[in-house]
Structure 1
Amino acid sequence: MKDINWKAEILDFLKTLLISFIIIFVITKFIARPVRVNQNSMYPTVIDQSVGVTNIFSVEVLHDINRFDIVVVKTDDGKNLIKRVVGLPNETLSFKNDVLYINELPIEQPFFDQKYVDEEKEKFGLFTNDIQEITLGPDEIFCLGDNRPYSKDSREYGPFKESQVMGKGIFILYPFNRFGSVD
């Protein structure tokens, strides 16, 4: 039987543990952060109780936020919200009769499940309540949930600062039948 060098084993274990913590720290600080959806405001794009990761790198390093990106934003009261970017810095935005206007030009929103939108219009009359014209500042974005009648978003919180964006996009890990990247 071989003699076990307990000190070497403990040091080896501690070294492995430290390396693991450093790797996890680097990944969650600079690459991807875990997210859990606790709302229906992005239904049917992202469903309640979904678990996934969001891309930190493209926001923190590349500062790459585009119209219709799904983002995770941190509110002033510390909540993390998953929303879709509809207005970008220095743009003038409004909604009239479910039509998005950017700088007075109508913009198509191709990501909607039209059947779902039509069902919600039957209930509420409009899918997106009219939004008076708002001009965004040089570091502001306007975000809405895909499930507009049920979403608390920039209509309630106001425009978000780009610095409030915690991640871009979501890669769903659970539920397994929705596994993959969400647009």
Structure 2
Amino acid sequence: MEQEQTVESGKTNSAKNEAWEWIKALFIAAVLVFFIRWLVFAPFIVEGPSMLPNFESHERLIVNKFIYRFGEPKRGDVIVFHATEDKDYIKRVIALPGETVRVEGDKVYINGEVLDEPYLKEALDDAAKKGIPYNTRNFPEMTVDEGSVFVMGDNRSNSSDSRDIGVISYEEIVGRADLIFWPLNKISFIH
């Protein structure tokens, strides 16, 4: 009889230990999810047509919030930033601190040189074939402030960007868009 009580007691302790191990594992997982979600990566939903043809409305992206702690934005990076107190925008970095930028028709000039924009080549070629400008919004030359970037949407004629809201300071940048994860047929890394 005494031996049976010891076996039952062992089973009870074993079940308690297993439950405690599960609680610890779930707690650690929750802390990791919190850390990764709030400090390293964040989901972002594209809203509106301003980044067409490269990003469509309702696509879901992963934004790397950590990358600019070790470096500065580079030309061509697709960034998410705080446009207003309650609204984030997604745009492409066009000009860097200290550079001059101007927009004339379908051409963007950085320090007087035409910017090569391979991410718009197909859209620019299609507009040229149709005999219409891709961009209908010019912008006079300006110099980008230190600690800021000049950003534009890929859909140049239909984008609220630095031509409207001014340059974006590094402090306003949430992070770099690195991955499209929805819809599933468009999963890809962003170059």
- Name the TM-score, length of structure 1 as normaliser: 0.85
Q: Which amino acid aligns with 2:149?
A: I
More helix by share: 2
Alpha-carbon offset, residue 22 of structure 1: 1.3
Aligned-residue sequence identity (percent) comes to: 28
Q: Alpha-carbon deviation of 1:181?
A: 0.7
Q: Are the equivalent residues in 2 in contact too, given 1:46–1:182 (CA < 8 A)?
A: no
- Whether 1:171 aligns to 2:179 is yes
Say whether the 8 Å CA contact 1:30–1:57 is kept in structure 2: yes
Question: Kindly tell me: are residues 126 and 40 of structure 1, through their superposed partners in 2, closer, same or farther at Cα, counting changes over 3 Å?
Answer: closer
Q: How does 1:1-183 map to 2 (within 5 A)?
A: 3-4=11-12, 8=17, 11-59=20-68, 61-115=69-123, 118-119=126-127, 125-183=133-191
Deviations 1:91-133 (A, max 9, x none): 1110112211111222221111424663499597451511011
Contact 1:95 1:128 (8 Å CA) reproduced: no
- The one-letter code sitting in structure 2 at the alignment partner of 1:104 is G
Q: Give unmatched runs, 5+ long, in structure 2.
A: 1-6
Separation of aligned partners in 2, 1:132 and 1:121: 27
TM-score by length of 2: 0.82
RMSD: 2.6
Q: Structure 1 regions of 5+ residues with no counterpart? A: none
Q: CA deviation at 1:141?
A: 0.4
Distance 2:87 2:99 in 1: 26
8 A contact 2:100–2:142 mirrored in 1: yes
More off after superposition, 10-19 vs 171-180: 10-19
Larger C-alpha radius of gyration, 1 or 2? 2
**Structure 1 SS opposite 2:27:** helix
